[in-house]
């Protein structure tokens, strides 16, 4: 009988080597993230694999699964432990080796396999590990599957079944690269900075961009799991500033930055201006809507209001829907709404057929940006950016807040703003025009200025974004209101960055 997982084990003890450690907070809304080995040990990963087998059995899904790992010094070990549990649970495991998350999603289609378990901590700091999971392509687990998996694993409600089968897939990277490059070459010779933050995309993104006709300037594109300059996170201003410097230095047409597991893409224009991913989404939506009549798009609640108000999108008959932040939420909602594309402010883009297969792939997004420029004859990406209505945006700001406390604090902030709206009060000198509470609270004021407060789904943090279509001052006033409300809670700690 495999031991029931525990949450009280400490490294460098006998019990740590005898029993599975699984901290419950690692099961998040749509994927799993733990500090390794403080919050999960190798036996704990065995338990997760066995738990996945029990979940697949419950859902009546054939136990065939793609497994890959990102480029961190411990990821291969984490994957091996997870696979041990999967095999013991009776899975046919297709091991694709070192991979980007979208390569694992691609492999589900390429190998005709139902499930996926990608070992990655994405853009999190070293020391974190995690798993992105799915049982129905192109979707990944949402709260329903994650909460049930958590119940199964923590209760030890699984048992080894035997019958597992291991298949190593030696050429998945080559098959993915061939699929990405089996397309017409760009007509316009674009000089592109490909920034990988020394993460997994270093092994794939520059080569694919070069193969489609780009002149590639690699930046931090040597694999190094110590991440010597910064975490590979294209939402982080450190990485964006580095890309901007390289774009200006090399007189590049565009800078493209990829996160640690390659499912996100950040963009810097030819003048060295960082373009937030939601703004890139509006630019891509304009390009796509011109080719596809009455296109439907989905944007997450962190994203710019331009998806709704942009006159060009309106003139093209495009429709925009806002939904919960999170790659699984967005992927599923984009799929359910039969939208052509979904855009998330963090840089997860979801292109549905005929543009893609519905999952988030940073390289597919990068190619979409290149195609947009290819069609924009004589225009730079800075020209396309300037053609949008002016808004004043903040980066994503994240104060620390423990996983056990963050949701309760957000509930209190939501109730606070709901009370103000109900009683006709003001925020930053204005009345509230609209509240969206599908994911935290998005407060829109009379002049269109808005602010968002939500709990991060994959880190012990809150998430704050603000934007104003009117002025920098109104944007800052919105943030100051949110900042003051959060300051009342001693549980809310230091911000990663502020305006």
pLDDT tens per residue across span 2-27: 999 999 999 999 999 999 999 999 99
Q: Which one is predicted more confidently, 305 or 384?
A: 384
* Bridge-based pairing state of the strands 296-300 and 341-343: parallel
Q: How confident is the model at residue 236, as a pLDDT?
A: 85
Helices (H), 222-341: 237-250, 277-289, 306-309, 311-315, 327-336
CA-to-CA distance for 101 and 68, rounded, in angstroms? 8
Express each pLDDT in 254-271 by its tens digit.
999 999 999 999 999 999
CA-to-CA distance for 56 and 64, rounded, in angstroms? 9
Give the model's confidence band at 442: pLDDT under 50 very low, under 70 low, under 90 confident, else very high.
very high
CA-to-CA distance for 296 and 320, rounded, in angstroms? 6
Residue 253 · residue 381 · CB < 8 Å: yes
pTM: 0.90
Q: How confident is the model at residue 387, as a pLDDT?
A: 97
Residue 458 in this model has a pLDDT that exceeds 80:
no
Eight-state DSSP code of residue 340: S
Residue 176 · residue 149 · CB < 8 Å: no
* Bridge-based pairing state of the strands 165-168 and 92-98: parallel
CA-to-CA distance for 135 and 142, rounded, in angstroms? 11
What's the mean pLDDT in 97-121?
98
3-state secondary structure (DSSP) of residue 442: strand
Q: How confident is the model at residue 56, as a pLDDT?
A: 98
Residue 450 · residue 444 · CB < 8 Å: yes
Eight-state DSSP code of residue 36: T
CA-to-CA distance for 128 and 227, rounded, in angstroms? 13
Residue 346 in this model has a pLDDT that exceeds 90:
no
Residue 275 in this model has a pLDDT that exceeds 80:
yes
Give the model's confidence band at 309: pLDDT under 50 very low, under 70 low, under 90 confident, else very high.
confident
Q: Could you tell me the CA-to-CA distances from 442 to 97, 311, 362, 452 in Å, in that order?
A: 41, 22, 27, 4
Residues in the chain: 499
Q: How confident is the model at residue 390, as a pLDDT?
A: 93
Among 304, 322, 4, 335, smallest CA distance to 142 is for 335
Eight-state DSSP code of residue 5: P
Residue 126 · residue 115 · CB < 8 Å: no
Q: How confident is the model at residue 203, as a pLDDT?
A: 98
Task: Please compute, for residue 338, the number of CA atoms within 13 A of its CA located in the half-sphere on the CB side.
Answer: 1
Neighbour-count burial of 12, counting CB atoms closer than 10 A to its CB (0-12 exposed, 13-18 middle, 19+ buried): exposed
Q: What percent of the chain has a predicted confidence (pLDDT) above 90?
A: 94
What's the mean pLDDT in 37-50?
98
CA-to-CA distance for 311 and 329, rounded, in angstroms? 27
Token digits of residue 404 = 């056990």
Residue 288 · residue 296 · CB < 8 Å: no
Residue 326 in this model has a pLDDT that exceeds 90:
no
* Bridge-based pairing state of the strands 254-258 and 319-323: unpaired
Place of tokens 């774009």: 247
CA-to-CA distance for 342 and 297, rounded, in angstroms? 6
E strand spans, 196-290: 215-219, 254-258, 265-269, 274-275
Q: How confident is the model at residue 370, as a pLDDT?
A: 98
Q: How confident is the model at residue 162, as a pLDDT?
A: 86
Please state, rounded to an integer, the average pLDDT across all residues of the chain: 96
Give the model's confidence band at 212: pLDDT under 50 very low, under 70 low, under 90 confident, else very high.
very high
* Bridge-based pairing state of the strands 265-269 and 254-258: antiparallel
CA-to-CA distance for 261 and 327, rounded, in angstroms? 13
């Amino acid at each position: 009988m495999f031991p029931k997982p525990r949450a009280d084990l400490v490294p460098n003890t006998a019990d740590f080597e005898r029993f599975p450690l699984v901290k419950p907070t690692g099961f998040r809304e749509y994927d799993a993230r733990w500090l390794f080995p403080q919050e999960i040990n190798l036996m704990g990963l065995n338990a997760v694999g066995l738990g996945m087998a029990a979940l697949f059995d419950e859902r009546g899904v054939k136990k065939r699964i793609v497994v890959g790992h990102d480029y961190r010094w411990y990821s291969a070990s984490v994957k091996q432990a997870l696979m041990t549990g999967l095999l013991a649970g009776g899975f046919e495991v297709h091991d694709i080796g070192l991979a980007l998350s979208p390569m694992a999603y691609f492999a589900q289609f390429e190998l005709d396999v139902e499930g996926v378990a990608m070992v990655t901590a994405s853009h999190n700091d070293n020391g974190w590990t995690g798993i992105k999971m799915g049982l129905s392509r192109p979707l990944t687990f949402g709260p329903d599957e994650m909460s049930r998996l958590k119940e199964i694993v923590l209760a030890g409600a699984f048992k080894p079944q035997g019958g597992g089968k291991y298949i190593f897939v030696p050429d998945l990277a080559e098959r993915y690269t061939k699929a990405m490059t089996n397309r017409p070459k760009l007509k316009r010779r674009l000089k592109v900075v490909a920034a990988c933050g020394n993460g997994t995309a270093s092994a794939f993104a520059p080569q694919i961009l070069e193969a489609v006709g780009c002149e590639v300037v690699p930046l931090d594109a040597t694999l190094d799991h110590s991440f010597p300059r910064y975490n590979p996170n294209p939402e982080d201003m450190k990485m964006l500033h580095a890309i901007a410097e390289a774009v200006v230095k090399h007189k590049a047409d565009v800078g493209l930055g990829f996160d640690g597991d390659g499912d996100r893409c950040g963009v810097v224009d030819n003048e060295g201006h960082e373009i937030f991913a939601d703004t890139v989404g509006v630019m891509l939506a304009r390009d796509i809507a011109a080719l596809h009549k009455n296109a439907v798009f989905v944007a997450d609640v962190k994203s710019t209001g331009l998806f709704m108000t942009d006159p060009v999108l309106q003139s093209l008959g495009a429709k925009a829907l806002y939904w919960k932040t999170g790659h699984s939420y967005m992927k599923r909602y984009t799929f359910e709404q039969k939208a052509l594309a979904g855009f998330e402010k963090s840089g997860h883009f979801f292109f549905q057929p005929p543009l893609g297969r519905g999952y988030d792939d940073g390289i597919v997004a990068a190619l979409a940006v290149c195609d947009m420029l290819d069609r924009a004859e004589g225009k730079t990406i800075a020209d396309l950016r300037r053609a949008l209505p002016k808004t004043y945006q903040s980066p994503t700001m994240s104060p620390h807040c423990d996983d056990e406390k963050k949701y309760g604090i957000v509930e209190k902030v939501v109730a606070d703003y709901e009370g103000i709206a109900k009683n006709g009060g003001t925020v930053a000198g204005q009345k509230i025009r609209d509240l969206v509470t599908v994911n935290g609270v998005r407060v829109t004021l009379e002049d269109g200025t808005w602010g968002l407060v939500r709990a991060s789904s994959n880190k012990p943090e809150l998430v704050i974004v603000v934007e104003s279509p009117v002025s920098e001052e109104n944007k800052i006033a919105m943030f100051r209101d949110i900042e003051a409300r959060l300051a009342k809670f001693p549980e809310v700690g230091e911000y990663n960055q502020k305006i």
